[in-house]
Structure 1
Amino acid sequence: MIRRLALVALLASPACSAQPQAQSQPANGDAAASGQAFVPPQPASASKPVPKNAPQDASIKNVPATAGKANLPATAQPFTIQKIGQFEEPFGMEFLPGGGLLVTEKAGALKLRHADGSVVTVSGVPKVEPGGQGGLLDVAIAPDFADSKYVYLTYSEPGEKGSALALARGTLATPNPARAALQNVSVLWRSGSNGPGGQFGARVAFSPDGQYLFLSSGERQRFSPAQDPEQLLGKILRLTLDGKAAPGNPMYAEGGVRAMTWSTGHRNPYGLAFAPDGRLWETEMGPRGGDELNLIEAGKNYGWPVVSNGDNYSGQPIPDHPSKPEFEAPKLWWNPSISPGGMIIYTGDLFPQYKGSAFLAALSGQALIRVELNGATARPAEQWDMGARIRDVIQAPDGAIWLLQDDGALDRLTPKG
């Protein structure tokens, strides 16, 4: 993504249809032989109503979190805001070479905003299951888009047993400014565990070398799947560009779901971005409080729902992260909630003082939040009151910062003065 602008300089460096029945798959989850995306077995519990509270473990003694709280008072905005567009319940956006912008609308429409501001609907989008937190979600272009024209979409896919997160890919055709279509669309990956619940996660980020696709998969408000190694829910996945398990993953040799898993113990990961140094950062919605900024590392378990620096919506407590130090704790956390949405790590020249900083969209916080990153450490820097729920943030080719509001407004931020 041009969230991926942060990655371009690193490319040479290290670093549809109804849900099918699960088929017998090769050990590493590569379903190429069957011509289908790998789908894990359907758990019996997946179609049950979502539980009210996280499972309790009476043996855990709560140790309160005392470090890393990141809530800040609002400060004066250093930018000018220009409204440049309007969409219907948008979720994600992605710049194209030449300045065009793809925007997803949760009801199922993909829009192409040309550089001159005109907007067309892209045909050929897979059928989605809209409603609640589901629908058409993230959009990303392939690292080799200039040649392949590949566009990736994540969405809640309808199925006989309920919806599930899916990842599809098609080629973008734009024969003239008034027409655009996705062609040869195929589903590359499905989470399985079809059933009720929101919190799909669904963010896509590409590795700095352009060889792998990282996908965030939420736990669908079901709690326990985040700790179940046989479910693709509540995980960060590392996949090939074709949606298969990526060689080198921590449990690749074990096959199936485990082969795809990069990290586990996540709730609702709504932001995913690589820093210029190759580190992968993630923002995650907690329950009532406990929103997180995490440094994502291979094989780590981030603790949900066993620990959290927030509580259940009912008020029932959840032990704080220090209660179980074997789990990876967030670098920063927010309580009260800010409800983080999308995230970028800024690399542009228009705001040179912010190079290397993370920018977090905040929904319930109605804010844009800047976090200073320094290697593996993070420090809350500024929080700007935007007066609206901010769904996504992206860096434009000229270094401006563009925001998508939950009410559909598209804003362009440039320096004051």
Structure 2
Amino acid sequence: MYKQKSLWWVVIPVLCSGLVWFNYYAYVNSSSVFSRLFFKSFPEPIRVVSVLFVFSYIMQLLGAVIIGYIGDKRGRIIAINISGSFMCVGTIIMGLVSNIVSIFASQVMLMLAIALQGFGLGGIKVGFDLVIGESYAKSHNIVRVTSFNMMLTEMFIMFNSIIGFALAHCLTWEQFSLFGWRIPFLLGGLLLAILILSFNLVHKDELHVQQLYGSGNMSLWRSLVLYREVVLFLFLIDMNIFSTYFLVSSFLPHILYAIGIIEFKYTYVLTLSTNTIFLGAIMMSSYIADKFRLRMAIFNFGMIVICTTTIPLFKVVEQTDSIVKIISLFAFTGFIVGAYFAPITTIAIELITDQWHRYKIMSFAFSLSGLMTACLPMVALGLYNKFHKFSVIGFMMSISNLACLLICNVLFWKIKQSHKKG
């Protein structure tokens, strides 16, 4: 479909993709702030925040269905522009939510912002991956090229955590609650708008030449039926990876803060430590995946390690009061998840052989897995409230990861066999 392009063809979409996740993690990292500012009248504010996560992922699934169809029918760039606009507007509104006016008005405004941001994220999360991955589909370095996107995305997420930690450390709570937490939202929203505009202007003529405007007319339902085994495979593999990564790096720090184990500023430190090692693991595994073509082998190895170490890791977390040990455990989890996360985009592009099904199938599968993952914090919080043990959460994750590992390997074998027959 595409000819291999210059480095700038990769760099500009990667910067946009990184800012998309910078904006989303501005919301994730501010969840404890939102619970204290806008939902303090509720008995369990952190539970309300977990419900908002689910609401965000419902909107992501809706965005994936609508924007995914547009991405295959009208083209990747149109889909990116539409979903990027929703993402920018939602993020900026989130940064402007006032905690001075009535609490009800603030809650409504926050939910509107979450809806817009979620809808945009659902449509844009695979857009830049496809523009990059399809351009380098024939390259021997495809995993490293697509992993470059993941690596820079991780750097933006880390940058968000660094900004949040610096603001929380340097400002008083009164200053932070008044204006400090807004800075990442406003900065990220404005920069994303500028970058998407620049992406269109710089490559305006080139986009027409590369025929990035689609012609796929098949409905989502027909695409899902045609590629049903691939959809289930991508759903399970992404849910498995994202559930571990999201629960550990994004939500568990806020649970630890809510129950008084760590200070607020250390929620940023835990996210930062996880993503730092995650970044290094992606660099390592992407090289191995390209050099030795061991994509599923890397996934299987990482999954086995996660299944066997999750329970001991969570048990140590509940038994220690050392922030250094907790940070180390989060970093270890980030390394393992990052190691088997790198080849996923490449596997998806190779399994969906018809390019005019990719946008809708990948968007739908990844957003559906995100929605299922978003329910995990509520399950985890419920398990902790009942048993008061983090090891129970680890046991739940180990069982689900093991089941996903077995099913994914069976599906991958069946898909490969059908490709050989075809």
Give TM-score scaled by structure 1 length: 0.28
Structure (1/2) with the larger strand percentage? 1
Structure (1/2) with the larger helix percentage? 2
Higher relative contact order (CA 8 A, sep 6+): 2
Give TM-score scaled by structure 2 length: 0.28
